[in-house]
A and B are shown apart, each in its own frame.
Chain A
C-alpha cells in the first residue's frame, strides 16, 4: 500500500519522476562530521520517496561496524540509526568488498544487512545513478 501511494504521489506530485540517488560514504565515523552529516541527509531526504542506495567504501565501511561505544569520547553513537533505515524504506546498502577486506572486516561485522560487492560492481552502481551525493 505504501509503495503504491508513494509511486502515485511521486508521478503526480511535487517531486516529478523518481530518481536514483546514491549516497557515497568514504569516511570513518567520528574523526570528521561527514558520516553523521550523510546519515542526517539520508534521513531527511527519505521524505521525498526517491530510489535511494547507500554505498560504503574506503574508510566509510567503518561507519557500520558493530560494537561502537562512544561514551568514553563523549560523542553520540549514531550507529544504531543505520538499523532504523529499513523503517524509512531505505534497504539498499552496499559495501565494497576490497575496502572491507583491506580493513580486516567481514560481512557479519556490520550492524545492518548489506550487500557486499566488488569494485567493478560498485563502479557500475555509481554509473547507473541520476544523482550522487558524496560524503
Chain B
C-alpha cells in the first residue's frame, strides 16, 4: 500500500516496508506510525535513528537480540532491554521500528 505524505507518494511492500530506502523522511515515519495508532516520542526516535545508523554502517537490519544489546551499549541498560523496547514498539522492536526507519524487514524475522 503506497503512502502519501505532503502530496508525495512512496511505494511500500505488502507489509508496509518502504520499497526504496531512499524515499524515507521523518514525515513518512510519522505517517506509518499514525496508521498503527502510535504517536512517536523522543524515545521512539532514539531507536529509529539508531537503526538508521546501524543500517548505514552494516547494510543489514539487526536481529532483535542484537538490537537490544546494542541499544543497551549506546543508551544504557534501562533502555537496552526487551521490556522497554516492546513497550515502545508493541509489534516487535525490530519489525515495527525497522519499518518506521525505512529499513527492510530484519533477516530471519518472520
List residues of A whose CB falls within 8 A of some B CB: 2, 40, 43-44, 46-47, 76-78, 80-81, 83-84, 87-88
**Could you list some 27 contacts between A and B, CB below 8 A?**
A43-B60, A43-B107, A44-B107, A44-B108, A46-B63, A47-B63, A47-B65, A47-B108, A76-B59, A77-B59, A80-B58, A80-B60, A81-B58, A81-B59, A81-B60, A83-B57, A83-B58, A84-B57, A84-B58, A84-B60, A84-B62, A84-B66, A87-B66, A87-B69, A87-B70, A88-B63, A88-B66
Q: How far is the CB of A2 from chain B (nearest CB, A)?
A: 7
Chain B residue numbers with a CB within 8 Å of A77 are 59
Distance in angstroms between the alpha carbons of A99 and B63 in the assembled complex: 32
Chain A residue numbers with a CB within 8 Å of B62 are 84, 87
Query: CB-CB contacts of B32-73 with A at 8 A, as 1s and 0s?
Result: 000000000000000000000000011110110110011000
Chain A residue numbers with a CB within 8 Å of B60 are 43, 78, 80-81, 84
Give the top 8 A-B pairs by smallest Cβ distance, nearest first: A44-B108, A84-B58, A80-B59, A81-B60, A87-B66, A43-B107, A80-B58, A81-B58
Q: How far is the CB of A105 from chain B (nearest CB, A)?
A: 22
Q: How far is the CB of A10 from chain B (nearest CB, A)?
A: 14
Instruction: Give the number of A-B contacts (CB < 8 Å).
Output: 37
List residues of B whose CB falls within 8 A of some A CB: 57-60, 62-63, 65-66, 69-70, 107-108
Return the chain B residue nearest A77 by Cβ. Answer: B59
Distance in angstroms between the alpha carbons of A77 and B55 in the assembled complex: 12
Q: How far is the CB of B19 from chain A (nearest CB, A)?
A: 14
Contact A43/B59 with A2-B69, A87-B70, A88-B66 known, Cβ cut-off 8 Å: no
Return the chain B residue nearest A49 by Cβ. Answer: B65
Distance in angstroms between the alpha carbons of A126 and B12 in the assembled complex: 44
Distance in angstroms between the alpha carbons of A30 and B65 in the assembled complex: 29
Chain A residue numbers with a CB within 8 Å of B70 are 87
Distance in angstroms between the alpha carbons of A87 and B72 in the assembled complex: 12
Return the chain A residue nearest B106 by Cβ. Answer: A43
Distance in angstroms between the alpha carbons of A77 and B58 in the assembled complex: 10
Distance in angstroms between the alpha carbons of A83 and B62 in the assembled complex: 12
